[in-house]
């Protein structure tokens, strides 16, 4: 009788739809196409900066930045959410902030035994290099300062007045491509100087370069004549300091 009762209990249990073995194995898995909401917290980068990169990529999901928690919020399919999370993690890197100062130095060429000129004491190496190239009577024309983060563009402009009542406009722009932990930087630079007298342009200096240089040193980037005045040049010097 005990054996029969056991079989009766088993049959009733199976009839109620509660199998004794394999409990929980019949749960339905979520579909990869099912919409999910995922919050990705950033450790190093700012949510705003990451969103600037994410914009226009067409990831197929709703992506917003939550500045309060420094997070990226994704609403989309699980597959896309995983792809966005992987991209965000690759962008979540600490980026150095650099303080850059560009100096425009005016000098004369073809001056035999000319005065070497006067520049800040830290520029002695640059001044010696210019003197070796036959540039003397050096004087500081102007300088422009800007801060930029690694991977970001920068732009700055200004103006000054020359001794002969000329108006001089200055523009510098570029991109900080890479900063190597306070040792060196790699930057693209576009610089232009335009001189105007009586609203007419009388000289122009323009240089585009992509170079790497050490930080905390004055570095000579370029030397070029000002327009058609081959006896006068402008040298572009930069000093970079990591913040």
Domain range list for the chain? 31-93, 97-242
- CA separation, residue 94 to residues 46, 49, 176, 179, 198 (Å): 9, 11, 14, 11, 49
CB of 80 within 8 A of CB of 60?
yes
pLDDT, average across residues 84-97 = 82
pLDDT, average across residues 174-186 = 80
Statement: residue 14 has pLDDT above 60: no
The candidate with the shortest Cα–Cα distance to 116, out of 106, 98, 125, 128, is 128
pLDDT digits (tens, 9 = 90+) for 41-59: 988 788 888 888 788 777 7
pLDDT digits (tens, 9 = 90+) for 152-167: 889 999 998 876 678 8
Q: How many residues does the chain have?
A: 243
* Better-scored residue on pLDDT, 227 or 134: 134
What proportion of the chain, given as a percentage, has pLDDT over 70?
79
26-38 burial, b at 16+ Cβ within 10 Å, e below that, comes to eeeeeeeeeebeb
Query: What pLDDT, on a 0 to 100 scale, did the predictor assign at position 189?
Result: 92
pLDDT digits (tens, 9 = 90+) for 97-145: 889 999 999 888 866 555 677 787 888 889 999 988 888 889 898 999 9
Does domain 31-93 fall into CATH 3.30.230.10? Answer: no
């Amino acid at each position: 009788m005990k054996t029969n009762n056991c079989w009766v209990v088993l049959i009733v249990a199976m009839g109620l739809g509660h199998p004794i073995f394999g409990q929980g194995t019949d749960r339905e898995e979520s579909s990869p196409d099912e919409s999910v909401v995922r919050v990705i917290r950033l450790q190093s980068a700012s949510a705003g900066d990451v969103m600037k990169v994410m914009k226009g990529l067409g990831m197929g999901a709703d992506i917003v930045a939550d500045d309060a928690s420094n997070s990226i919020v994704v609403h989309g399919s699980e597959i896309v959410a995983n792809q966005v999370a992987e991209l965000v993690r690759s962008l979540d890197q600490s980026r150095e902030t650099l303080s850059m100062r560009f100096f425009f130095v005016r000098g004369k060429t073809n001056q035999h035994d000319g005065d070497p000129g006067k520049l800040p004491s830290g520029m002695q190496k640059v001044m010696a290099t210019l003197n070796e190239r036959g540039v003397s009577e050096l004087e500081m024309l102007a300088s422009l300062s800007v801060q930029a983060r690694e991977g970001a563009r920068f732009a700055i402009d200004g103006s000054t007045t020359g001794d002969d009542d000329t108006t001089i406009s200055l523009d510098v722009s570029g991109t900080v491509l890479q900063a190597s932990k306070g040792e060196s930087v790699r930057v693209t630079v576009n610089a232009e100087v335009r001189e105007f007298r009586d609203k007419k342009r009388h000289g122009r200096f323009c240089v585009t370069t992509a170079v790497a240089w050490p930080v905390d040193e004055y570095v000579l980037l370029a030397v070029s004549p000002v327009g058609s005045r081959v006896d006068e040049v402008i040298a572009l010097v930069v000093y970079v300091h990591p913040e």
